[in-house]
Structure 1
Amino acid sequence: MFFLANAPAHAALPPMGMLAPFAILLLCIALMPLFAAHFWEHHYPKVALALGLVTAAYYAFVQHDWHPLQHAANEYVSFMALVGSLFVISGGINIRVKGEATPLINTLYLLIGAVLANFIGTTGASMLLIRPWIQMNKFRITGFHIVFFIFIVSNVGGSLTPIGDPPLFLGFLRGVSFFWVLQHCWQAWVLALALLLGAFFIFDTRNFARVPKEIREAETAHEDWFFRGLLNIVWLGVVLAAVFLPKSVQETKLLGVFSIPALVMFAAAVASYFTTKPEVHEANDFNFGPVKEVGFLFVGIFLTMIPALQILQSGEALKISSPMQYYFTTGALSAFLDNAPTYLSFLAASMGQQHLSVDSPADVMTFAAEHAPHLIAISLGAVFFGAGSYIGNGPNFMVKAIADKSKVHAPTFLGYLFRFSIPILLPILILVGWVMVK
């Protein structure tokens, strides 16, 4: 690209004041839906774009360095290609169930959802499975059914592959190999899931026992499952294949931004949308609202976090060093801020302490090989603690919105925290960290 020729070889670090747009945007994402929901619903694209443009203007007209902007654009397109394609394709598969589920069937369903999240993402799995989940528990569904679905399917389940959760995909884009997370985090995944599923089974067994015996026997006598839109499995396969294209193909970019895998994913999403019957989309209440929100917000996030990443990778911004410190610090922020930029920020900080750059795939691979405990801690902290509140991860609020629309009593923001997240999830994640993070 012509504008890279004049980029400064050693651009100075941005001033600390350039962190303000990033901090403001994250605070808006966290607080606006709670205190100014109407304003945020109508104006969040303007806020995100305006803050992003402040950062873009700094690099274009003050630093005279277009390289960080091009790098951010390339990552943004790849990120949205994966998240958007999985959202569209999963929205073309409809699952209907007739009959009431037993605690054992419910627990198995959540386990299947956790595994599936690694193949179609936590967003895709959540959107695909939440409506059948509500339907199969319609006679006795309560808030804990929604919360544990968020814990397991929308967050913890998707911690084995870069496709599973956005933070891990950002790491993959930076240079972490595809199977690194599976190789290093599967034991923590098993332990966390076992504890969460065990806790859920106890809660659900007590809930099931409250249903009159005659209703239990009638409703659980048999279950009928109906699947529509299964052609979309083919398009899911296309998206997965795009991730594994040869490195030489992946590095080929059009206009310096559009990679071949991203274009393949976009094409699969378009093909899925137009080959799915309208009645399937209607049954899923499918619309582009959630992915539109992610798209606008992440334009702002990817731009405004450029100064934060550069400052953090200098190695002097944080005074933490041990994997356990990174696990809990990354986790604490991931519970209340979006876990994707939180992951990348702490990855940059930890690499900076080793005099490595998060912008260099070779450095990222070196860090993953030589400082695996730190990367494990950051990965688990971002993904697991994303379940800490409704605003920790994108699917959390989507699931709550569908539950509210289905007239299911989902906990309030504070109810989620004080009835479930702090007394149930937090002790489990502390135990997992104590056992698995070294």
Structure 2
Amino acid sequence: MKRHAASACLALAAACAMWSPFAAAAVATAPDGAALSAWWGAPFAGVLLSIALFPLVAPAFWHHHFGKLAAAWGIAFLLPFAVAFGVAPAFGTFVHALLEEYVPFIVLLTALYTVAGGICVRGNLHGTPRLNTAILVLGTALASVMGTTGAAMLLIRPLLRANDNRQHTVHVVVFFIFLVANAGGSLSPLGDPPLFLGFLNGVGFFWTTQHLALPMLFVCVVLLAAFYAIDSYYFHRREEERPAALDPTPDAPKLTVEGKINFVLLAAVIALVLMSGLWKPGISFDVAGTHVALQNAVRDGLLIVVTLVSLTVTPRTARAGNDFNWAPMEEVAKLFAAIFVTIAPVIAILRAGDAGAFAGIVHLVNDASGRPDDAMYFWATGILSSFLDNAPTYLVFFNLAGGDAQTLMTTGATTLAAISAGAVFMGANSYIGNAPNFMVKAIAESRGVRMPGFFGYLGWSGAILIPVFLVTGWLFF
């Protein structure tokens, strides 16, 4: 495990070093987004449709070949782009997607995934409505600190153990996905990938804390109240508990935590992300037209160090207790490489506004006078985030709203809040809206929970989440 992660980190560093001399000669002006046809967005649509459909219609094929499909879509964009505009602009576009967004994104996600995967909570408590609600509250609070992936991986197994003596537990996992794997991550760039992409594009670290606190509090309080009512019904009225002698995991007086050193490393991750937002030395490196700021390079390099330290100092028994493996990160790394490459022309076209091929989308989310319609941004971002991945969806609408962080944080604050809330909240509407959703589902099924299928889960989200989001949109956007 350690050798695998170290080799990947060294390969990434070596590749960046080898690109540098070639990249310096490859700088060229990228084509204007207004001159690009909408067809340049086809590879991006292909990636997202592949993510949405292949796991449903051909799961075995997808499991074995998703990396090849992702690479094929990336090549389907880069080769025609190089033929149409030249090798240098194509290479510059590739390097920009890699260094500006993909590398920082995947390095942070890997650090959070590794550090959280080294914290193992052992023991078992009694899964009463009060305890279950308390675990959901804890996970919701932790999600903005250690990421939705980290919080979900930390708490889903203790939650399942606490409820393995009950007959009805599907609702427990469903609400866990709603809250811990999605809505809870809305208060910081560490919480959910869309917000980290906003941070990489200039949105302040605490901006989301300030502007999404009230919508997040409303959504989470309503969902927690609904969960407590549903869980109480099953617990008290259905008399669903099995005899204590049949409990697969006997109750323990307290929980124990193994791998505590990772809490220190988690603090280091938070400090490094904060550092990159506060420290502005004004030094950058030009790589094929992409300016890599010194503070970002330092942050990413030290995050890799934190990842390797976590792998080195964490007891093997802690990772074994969490069934830790690299499969989820491998899938995210391969798919997002294709996403960030193929989204480049889409962003360029959107930034062209009315002059671009996607002018119809611009008109959809703006009123007759051309001003942003915040409610439309909330729902458009949210609906697409429900069935595509919420990180690239956020990036699309962020750029559709102008793509300038300083403007969006001030005069466009409600619009940016609507985009952020739509992406984070509505990633919970389906299994494919956010990466932790499928991870939680898979872990629950491995523990014997008969989770609803794709459309069954949509029934849960349609009945519970959509009414909450209707009220949320009316109150705040």
Separation of aligned partners in 1, 2:69 and 2:284: 33
- 2:103: which partner in 1? 77
**What are the residue-to-residue correspondences of 1:42-53 with 2, within 5 Å?**
42-53=64-75
Q: Which stretches in structure 2 are left out of the alignment for 5+ residues?
A: 1-22, 367-372
**Residue 239 (structure 2) aligned to one of 190, 211, 224:** 211
Query: Corresponding residue for 1:261?
Result: 299
Superposition TM-score, scaled by structure 2 size: 0.85
Q: Render the CA deviation track for 1:300-329: whole Å, top value 9, x for unaligned.
A: 000010111111121132122100001011
- The Cα shift of 1:59 comes to 4.2
Using the TM superposition, name which of 13-22 and 226-235 deviates more: 13-22
Q: Which amino acid aligns with 2:38?
A: M
CA contact (8 A) 1:250 1:260 kept: no
Distance in 1 (CA, whole Å) between partners of 2:252 and 2:65 is 48
The separation in 2 between residues aligned to 1:5 and 1:299, in whole angstroms, is: 21
1:30 aligns with 2:59: no
SS of 2:123's partner is strand
Q: Which residue of 2 aligns with 1:433?
A: 473
1:231 aligned residue: 261
* Counterpart in the other structure of 1:343: 394
What TM-score does the superposition give when structure 1 sets the normalisation length? 0.92
Quote the Cα distance in structure 2 between the aligned partners of 1:2 and 1:252.
14
The secondary structure found in structure 2 opposite 1:120 is helix
Matches within 5 A, 1:182-193: 182-193=209-220
Find out whether 1:135 has 2:186 as its counterpart. Answer: no
Distance 2:272 2:53 in 1: 37
Post-superposition offset of 1:223 = 4.0
Is structure 2 residue 368 aligned with structure 1 residue 328?
Answer: no
Please tell me the residue identity of whatever aligns with 1:122.
Answer: T
Indicate whether 1:276 and 2:303 are aligned. no
Of the candidates 90, 98, 119, which is equivalent to residue 145 of structure 2?
A: 119
The answer to whether structure 1 residue 394 and structure 2 residue 435 are counterparts is yes
1: CA distance, partners of 2:448 / 2:286: 47
1:354 paired residue number: none
RMSD: 2.3
Q: Is this contact kept in 2: 1:253–1:259, CA < 8 A?
A: no
Q: CA deviation at 1:4?
A: 5.3
Q: In structure 2, what is the Cα distance between the partners aligned to 1:206 and 1:41?
A: 38
Say how many residue pairs are matched: 426
How far 1:253 sits from its partner (Å)? 5.4
Q: Please state whether the residue corresponding to 2:189 is helix, strand or coil.
A: coil
Of 144-153 and 269-278, more deviation after overlay is shown by 269-278
Q: Does 1:103 align with 2:121?
A: no
Asked if residue 404 in structure 1 is aligned to residue 461 in structure 2, the reply is: no
Choose which of 39, 42, 48 in structure 2 pairs with 1:17: 39
Q: Does 1:291 align with 2:291?
A: no
Residue in 1 that maps onto 2:12 = none
Deviations 1:230-278 (A, max 9, x none): 0011111111111122433696559666721111111101110111111
Shift of the 411–388 alpha-carbon distance from structure 1 to 2, 3 Å rule, reads: same
The corresponding residue for 2:280 is 248
Q: Distance in 2 between matches of 1:129 and 1:202?
A: 21
Alpha-carbon contact 1:250-1:261 (below 8 Å) kept:
no
Change over 3 Å in CA distance of 1:406–1:79 after alignment to 2: same
Kindly indicate whether the alpha-carbon contact (under 8 Å) linking 2:27 and 2:92 is maintained by their aligned counterparts in 1. no
Q: CA separation in 2, counterparts of 1:214 and 1:395?
A: 30
Cα distance change, pair 253–42 in 1 and its aligned pair in 2 (3 A): farther
In 2 relative to 1, CA 178–277 (structure 1 residues): closer, same or farther, beyond 3 Å?
same
2:410 maps to 1:364: no
Secondary structure of the 1:259 match is: helix
Aligned to 1:355: none
Q: 1:15 and 1:134, CA in 2 relative to 1: closer, same or farther beyond 3 A?
A: same
Alpha-carbon distance between aligned partners in 2 of 1:397 and 1:34, rounded to the nearest angstrom: 12
| Greater shift in the superposed pair: 308-317 or 42-51 | 308-317
Deviation at 1:106, TM superposition (A): 1.2
* Alpha-carbon contact 1:19-1:307 (below 8 Å) kept: yes
Deviation at 1:143, TM superposition (A): 1.0
Within-5 A mapping of 1:297-308: 297-308=335-346
Question: Per-residue deviation at 1:377?
Answer: 0.6
Distance 1:392 1:11 in 2: 28
Q: Give, as a single letter, the amino acid of the residue that structure 2 aligns with 1:73.
A: L
CA deviations on 1:403-422 (whole Å, 9 max, x unpaired) are: 1111111111111111x110
Matching residue within 384, 387, 397 for 2:425? 384
Amino acid at match of 1:239: V
Query: Which runs of no fewer than 5 residues in structure 1 stay unpaired?
Result: 352-357
Asked if the contact 1:49–1:300 (Cα under 8 Å) also holds between the matched residues in 2, the reply is yes
Aligned partner of 2:273: which letter? V
Question: Partner of 1:95: helix, strand, or coil?
Answer: strand
- Name 2:93's counterpart in structure 1: 68
**Partner residue of 1:94?**
120
**C-alpha displacement of 1:168:** 0.5
Q: Which residue of 1 aligns with 2:200?
A: 173
Deviations 1:366-425 (A, max 9, x none): 22211111101100000000000000000000000001111111111111111x110111
